[in-house]
Amino acid sequence: MSDQSPSPEVVYDPTDPMNRKEQMFPRLSPAMMQRMAAYGHEEAVPAGTVLFQRGQRGVDFFLVLEGLVEVFDLDAHGQATVFTMHGPRQFSGEMNLFNQRGVLASGRTAIDSRVVRIAQPAFRRMVAAEADISETVMRAFILRRVGLIRMGYGGVVLVGPGHSADTLRIERFLVRNAYPHRLIDTEVDPEAGGFIEGFQLRREQLPVVICPERCFLQNPSTAELADELGLTEVIDPAHVYDVAVVGAGPAGLAAAVYAASEGLSTIVVEGLAPGGQAGTSSKIENYLGFPTGISGQALAGRAQAQAQKFGARLAVSRHAAGIDCSGLPYRLRLDDGQVVTTRVVIVASGARYRKLDVPGYARYEGEGIHYAATAMEGQLCANEEVVVVGGGNSAGQAAVFLSRIAAHVHVLVRSDGLAATMSDYLVQRIAQSSAITLHTRCEVAGLDGDERLRQVSWRHRDTGELATRPVGNMFVMIGAEPNTDWLKDCLSLDPNGFVLTGRCAEGRLLESPYATTRPGIFAVGDVRAGSVKRVASGVGEGSVVIQAVHRYLHPEAG
């Protein structure tokens, strides 16, 4: 027997992009390189030449023929950190080459090099025309973005208390928009003191966002942060789009994918991040084609990449504030004053969870009350009791996910059970889990705490019995209110505010079940009256509606 100590077990993580380096940084065949080169022009580039800089929009794509291109980031002191090198038969870039957002890193030649420079319009033509090239590039770009997020390169530093509503708001925006970042939690992180002293911060100034380019944002709004990070897109009000999709949930993203892939100029307007309510789900297990399940954020990220691959533009951090229905083309007004001009509007603005009518509720929103249960919220619940309020699939997915992290999960429903509102596979998991207790015919009666939630009480509706538990995080997933305030008097809505479709104002059937009372405006997904509130049905509606859009735009085609 050997007297050597056993080697530590190496655990293979299939989600780690560093285990797929050959796909992340592929070396192309000579034939593929030749076809790529036809879309650009060859350049001899001296060592030290900067090819693109962090924050720059619309950068070129570079194919390395000879030499070496290094990708780097600058630290707070202006020193370069090289984290990737592209050699011969490799190429530069990541997901931001599919849009007009600011790139996350800079690139320069490490030695005298020879490259093929492909401008962004030609890059888009190449991706559209060359299927195998498109697949190779898209896979590499997605893996590179995941790698940047995992390693924290090309991102920002968020400094603030982890349980603070504003820290959570900013981190949620960064996470859901797949923007690399590092959180320094001033409540627990030993490095926090150094940051606070180094930047001469007062605790009341937190949270702050620190960028490599020395930007320093004190508790920025979502819009301010998006602008600083280059996530927003400048919209030309004189350009008339074929289709404007309002909302980037499953229905809106599906509509964007099918519209753009069929040659319609398409823009998607989204106030927060792709995914909608589905984007906050830790895992969706009954979506066709994903037998092991997929998180809502991952599904939304793939759909966003797919839409941008076909040329759709995505304007995030800007809510639709109104619409001018008085003439054609329609004019969408965004909350920052920009205007989107379009021939067709697809309303896919979805719905939001209702709030509880409990004293002190507003005080603890973001300070213990959440409307999403992802890994970000889960890290706040480790070894603590939590409450999930609601009996739908979102509540069930949240309870199952949190049961692996929290000390115990209490599920509160006003009804007699879950069978009528939740998929059976979730009902069974909740029933079989020793870490979850279902409280039927119960409702939240009281909230208590200091600067954040510390205690939740609930009452049995029949007996009046009151229970109180030390709970610091409550997840509220009850009912839905449509996001239709921006439509005002443009469309007919039902008494609950959902968009009426399929019939004109006089009650006659319309050509499409997704047509509204205004020609050229369609509604799909959760915002539509009578829709099935499921991811798959939203995707189906978003894809099918494009047929009606074509008929509206080209009535002569029959």
* 3-state SS, one letter per residue, for 321-358: EEEECCCCCEEEEECCCCEEEEEEEEECCCEECCCCCC
Using one digit for the tens of pLDDT, what is the confidence trace for 336-390?
899 999 999 999 999 999 999 999 999 999 999 999 999 999 999 999 999 999 9
pLDDT of residue 16: 64
Determine if the peptide bond prior to 207 is cis (ω within 30°).
yes
Helix H or strand E encompassing 114: strand 113-118
The partner residues of 523 in beta bridges, in order of sequence, read 347
Residue that finishes a domain, picked among 193, 228, 263: 228
Residue type, 222: T
Record the pTM: 0.90
Alpha helix (H) residue ranges in 336-493: 375-378, 393-402, 424-432
Given pLDDT bands bounded at 50, 70 and 90, which one contains residue 1?
A: very low
Do 247 and 206 belong together in one domain? no
Residue 182 lies in a domain: yes
Using one digit for the tens of pLDDT, what is the confidence trace for 393-450?
999 999 999 999 999 999 999 999 999 999 999 999 999 999 999 999 999 999 999 9
Using one digit for the tens of pLDDT, what is the confidence trace for 259-318?
999 999 999 999 999 999 899 888 999 999 999 999 999 999 999 999 999 999 999 988
Instruction: Give how far Cα 525 sits from Cα of 8, 204, 353, 509, 533, Å.
Output: 50, 42, 15, 19, 7
Residue 532 lies in a domain: yes
- What share of the chain in percent tops pLDDT 90? 78
Range of the domain at 203: 156-228
Residue 8 lies in a domain: no
pLDDT of residue 407: 97
Q: Is the dihedral of CA 410, 411, 415, 416 positive or negative?
A: negative
Cα-Cα-Cα-Cα torsion 306, 307, 310, 313, nearest 10 degrees, comes to -140
Given pLDDT bands bounded at 50, 70 and 90, which one contains residue 21?
A: confident
Using one digit for the tens of pLDDT, what is the confidence trace for 479-499?
889 999 999 889 999 999 999
Do 470 and 372 belong together in one domain? yes
* Residue 231 reports pLDDT greater than 70: yes
Task: State the CATH number of the domain containing residue 269.
Answer: 3.50.50.60
Q: Please give the Cα distance from 365 to 375 (Å, whole number).
A: 18
In this prediction, residues 114-135 reach a mean pLDDT of 95
Residue 381 lies in a domain: yes
Do 223 and 246 belong together in one domain? no
Do 469 and 530 belong together in one domain? no
pLDDT of residue 167: 95
Residue 127 lies in a domain: no
DSSP assignments along 470-526, one per residue: -EEEEEE----EE--GGGTTSS-B-TTSPBP-SB-TTSPBPSSTTB-SSTTEEE-GG
pLDDT of residue 13: 58
Residue that finishes a domain, picked among 419, 441, 476: 476
Residue that finishes a domain, picked among 433, 454, 476: 476
Number of domains making up the chain: 4
Q: Please give the Cα distance from 260 to 204 (Å, whole number).
A: 46
Using one digit for the tens of pLDDT, what is the confidence trace for 57-97?
999 999 999 999 999 987 766 788 899 999 999 999 999 99
Given pLDDT bands bounded at 50, 70 and 90, which one contains residue 5?
A: very low
Residue 5 lies in a domain: no
Do 224 and 266 belong together in one domain? no
